[in-house]
A and B are shown apart, each in its own frame.
Chain A
Amino acid sequence: MSILVVTEQRGGAWNRMSFETLAAAQQFEKPVHAAVIGTGIETLAQELAGYQLEAVHAVSHPLLEHYTADGYSLALRQLIEKVSPELVLFPHTYQVRDFAPKLATSLNRVLVSDVVARHGDVFVRQLFQGKINADIRFTGEPPFFASLQAGAWRADQTVAGSAPVVPFTPELKPEQIRVKPLDIFREAERAVDLGAAEIIVSVGRGIKEADNLPVVQKLAEVLGAEMAASRPICDNGWMPMERQVGSSGQTVAPKMYIAVGISGAIQHLVGMKGSRTIVAINRDPEAPIFEVADYGIVGDLFEVVPALIEEIRKVK
């Protein structure tokens, strides 16, 4: 089965998830083609040419300077027609979420999104925010489309080699690009650097109300830890945005990360999976957070956290 890996770059810098997808494809089957899209991508294409690949397709056109769903879908559709791969693989990034379903639909196919594993012909993806797994099989005719979850394959397992760079210029007209991308910005400078914290105590929706936050703040105090939170807590304004951990917040890797009343949705996990010791407190024994935890307590946080504070005081 021939595979086409669609990599992602912005302004000449890689999205590192591209290499996870490349590594996965190399483990799946041969031959593997890779595509890089944009303008001024010669250096990036040369870098890809240093991997064990059939070919590197450098997809370039002035209208592809800035990402748009219209431009990328049209360009990739033409590349797919030329290369005719059986499987097209993407990293499951925000950008891929924006255009890959459109591309697949234009070819009357369904993308299997956010894949975590592959066994033979079966692709595994998660349902119910990580609580249930599903085995999915492609039916009908190729090309098949799949996007791979962050961290599901390891970027350091790519195999070096050498491949030719093949330039590809798609046919695009300005009037086909309907969305106009403007400035990329950050809302505010980050005052706290959670990256430097040794211990982080992180709180989720299990806390129920802002008034209950002191329960968890006390735990952070006895540990000398920084406070962090899942997204809904920051959305509600209970904690500042800059303390949000996850795909749209900060990525942290402290010595210890204590998740209190956090379910463990993938968008949260990608921001803290790299922590050395992960502790979870949750009343649901099936909560996905326990899948990445080294230690955990199943129970009501309003009972468990005060007990924990007391026990920590004894040994400190």
Chain B
Amino acid sequence: MMKIVVVIKQVPARDSFLRVDPGGAWIQESDLNYEINEPDAYALEAGLQLKEKSGGEVVVVSTGPARVASTIREALAKGADRAIHIEQEDVAGAGPLATARVIASALETEKPDLILTGLQSDDFGYGQTGVILAELMGLPHATIIMNVEVNGASLRLKRELENGYFQHVEMPLPALLTMQSGSNKLRYATLMGIKKAKTKEVRTIAGVQPEGAGTSIRIERVYMPGSSKQSQIFDGPPREAAAKLVEKLKFEARVL
């Protein structure tokens, strides 16, 4: 029997059209759609499969404003048992240490055997929150995990390395893992699951920044990146654009 915590983040949908605030402080959020961060969906899937194999409980945790509730519901509909919503505005400026501190304090009384996070968020892309959380909670961790096997009180893992290499590692429980996308098939929520989710517990707590949290970096300004190359980009009717491109490829780049 394992208690598994899955830490999930709600992020702007992948194909969102992003615009920067006039002041350059942050992006305009009002017209965005949101979804679960992709690797976090795989972390949830891994957690649900482990529970199905060895029994136990899956608890999802998310930090963010009220809109995050929809992503939490979806995780419950897929089979998570209960949820903790740490309600907080302005997670944008907080930085990964502050976010991890808030999550760590919410998990103090939970004492999970295993914590799963995504390896990286699609919006801020720090790639750090999970590792920081492990350090704050005094847990061993491993990153970019493709496969998890539980053997009694220890884990055998498959980590991804660069250039198509992998590595096996072993570690004791309790532990924290940051999960890579793509290692499993994701399940859909069933109608039954959606119905059940409505009765499951969601504990909403206020996200209070612990003293001195995350004061060591500050996002000063955001903006659209410029191009590093002199690109020639064609648009308009596909046929005309294609003709222009082929001419360039033949006579300028000489690759045809």
Contacts and interface: CB of A to CB of B under 8 A. Distances in A.
A65 to B, nearest CB: 15
Contact of A110 (B96, B169, B233): B96
A311 B216 contact: no
A97 B228 contact: no
B94 to A, nearest CB: 10
Contacts of B248: 295
A248 B224 CA distance: 27
B88 interface: no
Interface residues of B, number: 80
B246 interface: yes
Contacts of B230: 294
A127 B123 contact: yes
A279 B95 CA distance: 36
A57 B75 CA distance: 48
Nearest to B134: A102
Contacts of B52: none
Of the candidates B171, B181, B238, the one having the most CB atoms from chain A within 10 angstroms of its own CB is B238
A223 B255 CA distance: 10
A132 B18 contact: yes
Nearest to B240: A307
A181 interface: yes
Contacts of B142: 69, 98, 179
Contact of A136 (B100, B183, B217): B217
B18 A185 contact: no
A133 B223 contact: yes
A136 B233 contact: no
Nearest to B154: A180
Interface residues of A, number: 92
Nearest to B234: A297
Interface stretch (A25-33, A79-87, A155-163, A250-258): A250-258
Interface string A265-302: 00000000000110100001110101111111111100
Interface stretch (A38-46, A111-119, A164-172): A111-119
A105 B97 contact: yes
Contact of A181 (B18, B131, B141, B169): B169
B30 interface: no
Contacts of A138: 216-217
B221 interface: yes
A122 interface: yes
B170 A179 contact: yes
B55 interface: no
A186 B162 contact: no
B239 interface: yes
A128 B212 CA distance: 27
A235 interface: yes
A214 B91 CA distance: 43
Interface string B76-90: 000000000000000
B206 interface: no
Contact of B15 (A130, A247, A284, A295): A284
Nearest to B128: A101
A185 B249 contact: no
B135 interface: yes
Nearest to A178: B140
A234 B180 CA distance: 14
A315 B220 contact: no
A16 to B, nearest CB: 11
Contact of B217 (A137, A187, A242): A137
Contact of B135 (A105, A288, A294): A105
A223 B250 CA distance: 12
Contacts of B123: 127-128
B253 A182 contact: no
Nearest to A255: B255
Given A179-B140, A293-B231, A251 B163 contact: yes
A314 B218 CA distance: 55
A169 to B, nearest CB: 24
Interface string B158-195: 00111111111111100000000111000000000000
Interface string B1-28: 0000000000010010110100000010
27 contacts: A69-B140, A69-B141, A94-B162, A105-B97, A105-B131, A110-B97, A110-B217, A127-B124, A128-B18, A133-B222, A139-B217, A179-B140, A179-B141, A179-B170, A180-B169, A184-B167, A234-B182, A235-B182, A236-B182, A277-B249, A285-B233, A293-B229, A294-B253, A300-B238, A311-B243, A311-B245, A315-B250
Interface of B: 12, 15, 17-18, 20, 27, 95-97, 100, 119, 122-128, 131-132, 134-136, 140-144, 160-172, 181-183, 212, 214-235, 238-239, 241-243, 245-246, 248-250, 253, 255-256
